[in-house]
A = this chain, B = another copy of it.
Amino acid sequence: MTEETASLIVHYMVNYQGQLNRTFAALVDPTRRAILAHLERTQEASVSELARPFAIKLPAVLKHLDVLEDAELIRRTKLGRTVTVRLNPDPIRAAMNWLQRYERFWPQRLDRIAAYAERKEAEQTKRRR
């Protein structure tokens, strides 16, 4: 391995970790997840369409879009006064790729998630009593 190849690999790994940091950080917020879910259904949307379902002001929505764009999860294009937002699913793919190593722990995948949801619900119900 040449020094240049080694340096490229290290550089790629650092870059990959940085991208994962940004992707997961962008996904922490439920409003940003809802924006991505909207774009998943409609492919593209204007900023005002994206802002409509939320009880927050437009500048707050624009801040969320900045975070999503920094993480490269969306792309914005401007035509006249209309900004169109599109989903870029590549970083989500990279995040899933990282998470997929844990798949071998799910022997009965759908059964397990259903059992998990039921268990959480039962715990919460118990706590409320």
Please give the residue numbers on chain A whose beta carbons come within 8 Å of chain B beta carbons, in ascending order: 8, 11-12, 15-17, 19-21, 24-25, 27-30, 33, 36-37, 40, 87, 89-90, 92-103, 105-106, 109, 112-113, 116-117, 120-121, 124-125
Contact = CB atoms under 8 A, between A and B. Distances in A.
Contact of A24 (B24, B93, B113, B116): B24
Where chain A touches its partner, the secondary structure class is helix
A21 B28 contact: yes
Contacts of A93: 102, 106, 109, 112-113, 116
Contact of A102 (B40, B97, B98, B120): B40
A99 B99 contact: yes
